[in-house]
Amino acid sequence: MSPLTENAVRVQYGLEMKSNLPELVFTSIVNIPEFKVSESKAKLEITTSKMTVVVDKKSGALSYRKYEGKLFLSEKPDGL
């Protein structure tokens, strides 16, 4: 996961990461926003001033919360 702007976080997952893929969304150079990373046994969080992305370590499910904590998008833990 890597923050691109205050309200956009790139999430990439794969067994083999390919960093030489062309950028199709952010074609201009952007300044990486300030962000905070926190980790516990159960989850990994990346927080910017406008959002938080949480990864459940057990299921791999992602959830996205607005800065005030309100959930606006999540994956089902079972992948269905």
Paired tokens of 42: 């159960």
Paired tokens of 40: 């516990």
d(CA 72, CA 80) in angstroms, rounded, equals: 18
Question: For position 31, what pLDDT does the model report?
Answer: 86
Average pLDDT of the residues in 16-20? 68
- 3-class SS of residue 51: strand
Q: Give the H or E element holding residue 55.
A: strand 51-56
Top pLDDT among 47 and 20 is at 47
Q: Which of 59, 67, 70 is nearest to 36 (CA)?
A: 67
Q: Convert the pLDDT of each residue in 21-79 to its tens digit.
A: 676 776 677 788 999 999 999 999 999 999 999 999 999 999 999 999 999 999 987 76
Q: Indicate the pTM of the whole model.
A: 0.78
List the beta bridge partners of residue 54. Answer: 45, 63
